[in-house]
Amino acid sequence: MATTGQYRPNYAVPPGWILEERLEADGISQAEFARRCGRSPKLISEIIAGKAPVEPATAHQFEKVLGVAAGIWLGIESDYRLHMARQAEYAAAPAEWAKAFPVRELVKRGCLERPESEADAVSKLLAFFRVGSVDAWTARHGRANVAYRHSPSFKSNEAALATWRRLGEIEAERQECADYNASRFRRAVRQIRGLTREPVEEALSEAAVLCNGAGVALALVRPLPGTALSGAAWWLSPRKAVIELSARHRSDDHLWFSFFHEAAHVLHHSKKAVFVDGANGGAASLETEADEWASDTLIPRRAWERFVATTPRRADTVRAFADEQGIAPGIVVGMLQHRGLLPWTHLNGLKIGLARKSEA
């Protein structure tokens, strides 16, 4: 995912400096050089001062007079102007903008080359997000435009959230998907419900295949420092939806509930909707709808009500009910705990922990 390229120092020499040194070494005055090139002394003076660029025709004349290839002059000119553009880009960026991002973590994951300077960090981050300026980043990524599922008691860092979503977007772009079809996705979701009983890594792999066949990319991306998300859902295009999971709690019950929560957003909510946990009443209601749909899909409401009426506390009772429903017992435990029907300390042995290697 890292932008590739050769080493780029955080400085650049204007071609005029090289020209001035060469003229001094050859004992040629600026006026004499201008005459030999058929150019005005003013232009040569401005090139040496860095005020005027070395154009292709000028570089061609320099080659004839000094014996230094035109391509070298143009290369020095190009490097200098590009360096100046990066410096201007950095100067235009809000103070501390790049420092808000988890750059070290991106470098550690191999998603970003280590920046050589603060200006280079700004440039590399913009390239990572595929935008040309900080203003363009703000317009595309600086506002919550995805349905995040995160802890309402933890305020996640906006830059880190956008970075996490971008990692999911990159993974989604790699996945070949059929055009989105709601009926196929509903069938896929029903099949994935049964996969919750399988080993997590195998189940996730099969779930991704089923989702891709219905026009949905499924990405598992480890959470970044400064984020407290469990999942997100959005549309990469009108024909391709994305479900991104973080598995931050590292247990199968939370992972699968997050998947079904995000699937609800894909199936039932607008492709253009903006909703974040606790941000406003409308968003909160959509999050509640998604939670209820996920619960009812995993365990039909009547079956759930009948089960909880027995005040289940024993592992064998939970396993028997999970077998009856065809889902992982850890999911039942998680739902009981979430609804306050079982202490958070009870029956956690029925949950399956996620190995770090199963996370992208």
Does residue 280 share a domain with residue 176? yes
Does residue 228 share a domain with residue 157? yes
Quote the number of domains for the chain.
Answer: 3
pLDDT for residue 152: 54
Residue 304 within a domain: no
Provide the 8-state DSSP code for 301.
H
pLDDT for residue 281: 42
Residue 346 within a domain: no
Does residue 125 share a domain with residue 84? no
Does residue 157 share a domain with residue 107? no
Q: Is pLDDT above 70 for 291?
A: yes
Does residue 262 share a domain with residue 182? yes
Name the pTM for this structure: 0.78
Residue 354 within a domain: no
Residue 356 within a domain: no
> Residue 83's domain is classified under what CATH number?
1.10.260.40
Q: Match 């009443």 to its residue by tokens.
A: 281
Does residue 271 share a domain with residue 160? yes
Provide the 8-state DSSP code for 353.
B
232 φ, ψ (degrees, to nearest 5): -150, 155
β strands within 184-266, DSSP E: 216-220, 229-237, 240-245
Q: Is pLDDT above 60 for 316?
A: yes
Are the CB atoms for 322 and 307 separated by under 8 Å? no
Domain extent for 136: 98-141
Residues 225-248 pLDDT 10s: 888 888 899 899 999 999 999 988
pLDDT for residue 146: 47
Helix (H, G, I), strand (E, B) or coil at 66: helix
Residues 67-117 pLDDT 10s: 999 999 999 999 988 888 878 877 877 778 999 999 999 999 999 999 988
Q: Strand 216-220 and strand 240-245: pairing? A: parallel
Banded model confidence at residue 1, pLDDT cuts 50, 70, 90 = very low
- Using CA atoms, how far residue 147 sits from 219, 234, 261, in Å, is 15, 7, 10
What length does the chain have? Answer: 360
pLDDT for residue 155: 57
Does residue 84 share a domain with residue 34? yes
Q: Is pLDDT above 50 for 59?
A: yes
Does residue 272 share a domain with residue 201? yes
Element (H, E) at 150: strand 147-150
Q: Is pLDDT above 90 for 12?
A: no
What's the CA angle centered on 257, arms 271 and 172, to 5 degrees?
45
